[in-house]
Chain A
Amino acid sequence: MTQLTMGKALGAGLRRAMADDDRVLLMGEDIGRLGGVFRITDGLLDEFGGKRVIDTPLAESGIVGTAVGLAFRGFRPVVEIQFDGFVYPAFDQIVCQVAKLHYRTRGRVKMPITIRIPWAGGVGAAEHHSESPEAYFVHTAGLRVVAVSNPQDAYTMLRQAIASDDPVVFFEPKRLYHSKGEVDLDAHLADAPPMGVARVVREGSDVTLLTYGAQVGVALDAATAAEDEGVSIEVIDLRSLSPVDYRTVTASVRKTGRVVVTHEAAREAGVAAELITSVTEKCFHYLEAAPVRVTGHDIPYPPAKLEKHHLPDLDRILDAVDRVLGRPNSLSEVVL
């Protein structure tokens, strides 16, 4: 085991995937000499050369569209979108081409493209640098969508995403890039849990708290705080948003009878809405209370000085936990 930051673990995952398969290549803005604005690809240009680490023109649709052409020819492009808010120019190529070509060609053309997106807020960034666009991609058939929360998953799931014959939108929480953790660099991919499987990161018996990405840490803090009050929260890191591992989720909900979902992304038609609908369909008779969402507000991402009021923090999560437990909470007197 090695202590690595998530950023270094991602770089190690890319290096390993490139060493394992010479059809893997990296594309993106500033990923070569600079090593990417987050230095995730640091050193890879020197190690693998310009043919496999491609500094592209500054055009996101062009990056993804040319990745499609490379995939047509049997390459496995790993695309870096510099920031979450810059993915929209590539949206057409992702939705109309990357996601559909396998279906359109009846399985003859595979699109093993990994689209890495430095993602979400909490880093005091400028406008368009803190977005959580994951629901758009979850809603798009043909894509797999994953979000990592720790260095080990970053390393393993990135390799799994690159090895997948399906396109994967890979969300990397920017505010965890510098967080450290143990990483087993020698683990065989076959021994790792599949990319689509959720993980119970803390067991509990009273409330199931579903989340992903950087919110996993916030959720764990909330669970620790709740324990002091005698409330046992089970925290599930979904890891994969498409597909969602409902086996793990429903097993937990059937045990606890109460569900809170938290994510940074806005609420309306977001991932939490889908999770709660599916959980309600599958576990209605086990539910002791209406499930509750704790999300970003339905606003454009706010200026940095205000983002702490936008990101769901420990207290907002605990307030929602109180609600599903029928305890006094901020909405006790409000008719919803």
Chain B
Amino acid sequence: MTYTPITDTERLLSLDEPLQLLTPDGRRRHDPQLDEWADDLDATALRGLYRDMAIARRVDAEGVALQRQGQLGLWAPAQGQEAVQIGTARACRRDDFLFPSYRELGVLLVRGAAPADTVLTWRGEVPSTFDPYALDVAPPQIIIGAQSLHAVGYAMGIQRDETDQVAVAYFGDGATSQGDVNEAMVFASSFASPVVFVCSNNQWAISEPVTVQAKHPIAGRAPGFGIPSLRVDGNDVIACTAAMRWALDHARSGEGPAFLEAVTYRMGPHTTSDDPTRYRSADDVEQWRARDPLTRLEAHLRSMDAFDDAFTAAVDADALAYTTEMRAAAIGAVTKPALALLDDVYATPHTGLAEQRAHFAAYLDGFADESASSEEVAG
């Protein structure tokens, strides 16, 4: 619950600042606030988290490769952010409802998104893939920060239904400049709604460093709204899990919203259309590579004698199975017929669109006649 304001802006990017349970070289640290939330994370649990992160990284790499090969129109790489995505999503109860941004690949994977779900929208085949009510995940949001309000509204619904679920809003450091995120915190605080805000501070909003969005640590804003917050090492999956458990427990117990700032780093470009060499140095990236969430957990597991070839082979096999299906789904995607683009605009018939549909269908029918007659000629 306690938060010590950090006023030294020079320390904003300091890695030592955020709460940490696992050092970059894989040593387990203790933290009086977080320890109780990580007590049960034994080797089996940690291997599970490692597996999820490793698969997320492989799926992400496959997405980038598919884009480079022309199979996807775009991809938003999540490399480097696996710990916050997997740790926080794994900490949730299955019936907690999650509102991710477009970069929360790991969140989708934790909730059981199918391989095709990860590629068909980036390929431009469909506006979204999975059924939100099947995964209890909203379609990934592209409008920056808009989903934070949806999460709060959902949480207001939870209050009215008197269940003990929690809604989770995921967004990045750039989103914290948006009015919607700030309005979301006002609504959540005023109504004491069961929502957790997870800000993945990956240091970059495309080319703008976080210092353009925030002169003080982002976690420091939440208390001003009356929302308790924690600033955690976002590359430390144990800390992310523990902090999220604290936040969820706070929200679930009727205490109102909680806020996490997970300090991490976007190792790749903003999207496959971006060129980060124009705005950041390779040295910066290399510094963060040394704090990689997977290598530090691997080191920790090795120190526990819980990491061996059999384990990595099993993880590799799972990742390969998933990415193989993913690739097949992308390459084998069948683009819908033209008329389908008019589907699902309205839930009930709209006479104006119905007329447009009829006219477009008549137009398309003209081509059908043409191709039929040309086939006859060819035959």
Contact = CB atoms under 8 A, between A and B. Distances in A.
A305 interface: no
Interface string A85-104: 00001001100110011111
A285 interface: no
Contacts of B126: 106
Interface in B146-178: 146, 148-161, 167
A66 B152 contact: yes
B158 to A, nearest CB: 7
B344 A107 contact: yes
A284 interface: no
B187 A142 contact: no
A244 B351 CA distance: 8
Contact of B167 (A57, A62, A69): A69
Nearest to B152: A66
Contacts of A102: 344-347
B128 A104 contact: yes
Contacts of B161: 73
Contacts of A97: 143, 146, 150
A241 B143 CA distance: 28
A243 B157 contact: no
B317 interface: no
A216 interface: no
Contacts of B343: 106-107
B353 A243 contact: yes
B61 interface: no
A242 interface: yes
Contacts of A280: none
Given A67-B153, A69-B152, A166-B348, A62 B186 contact: yes
A137 interface: no
A51 B127 contact: no
B154 A105 contact: no
A57 B157 contact: no
B187 A51 contact: no
A142 to B, nearest CB: 6
B128 A69 contact: no
B179 interface: yes
A196 B351 contact: yes
A104 B187 contact: no
A62 B183 contact: yes
A107 B132 CA distance: 11
Contact of A65 (B153, B345, B350): B153
A165 interface: yes
B139 A69 contact: no
A110 interface: yes
Contacts of A103: 127, 344-345
B180 A69 contact: no
A312 B378 CA distance: 63
Interface residues of A, number: 51
Contact of B347 (A52, A61, A166, A244): A166
Given A61-B179, A243-B351, A70 B346 contact: no
Interface string A223-265: 0000000000000000000111110000000000000000000
Contacts of A92: 143, 146, 180
A74 interface: yes
B133 interface: yes
A329 interface: no
A65 B132 contact: no
A230 B140 CA distance: 62
Contacts of A77: 153
A210 interface: no
Nearest to A67: B153
A290 interface: no
A61 B127 contact: no
A242 B350 CA distance: 8
Q: Which of A71, A97, A245, A246 has the most chain B CB atoms closer than 10 A to its own CB?
A: A97
Contacts of B190: 57
Nearest to B150: A69
A112 B348 CA distance: 11
Interface in B327-365: 343-348, 350-353, 355
B138 interface: yes
A214 interface: no
B149 A165 contact: no
Given A65-B184, A109-B139, A166-B347, 13 more contacts: A51-B160, A65-B150, A65-B153, A65-B183, A69-B150, A92-B146, A106-B128, A108-B131, A108-B133, A164-B347, A165-B348, A243-B353, A246-B351
Interface of B: 97, 99, 126-128, 131-133, 138-139, 143, 146, 148-161, 167, 179-180, 183-184, 186-187, 190, 343-348, 350-353, 355
11 contacts: A57-B183, A61-B183, A66-B156, A67-B153, A69-B157, A70-B154, A105-B132, A106-B126, A164-B347, A166-B347, A244-B352
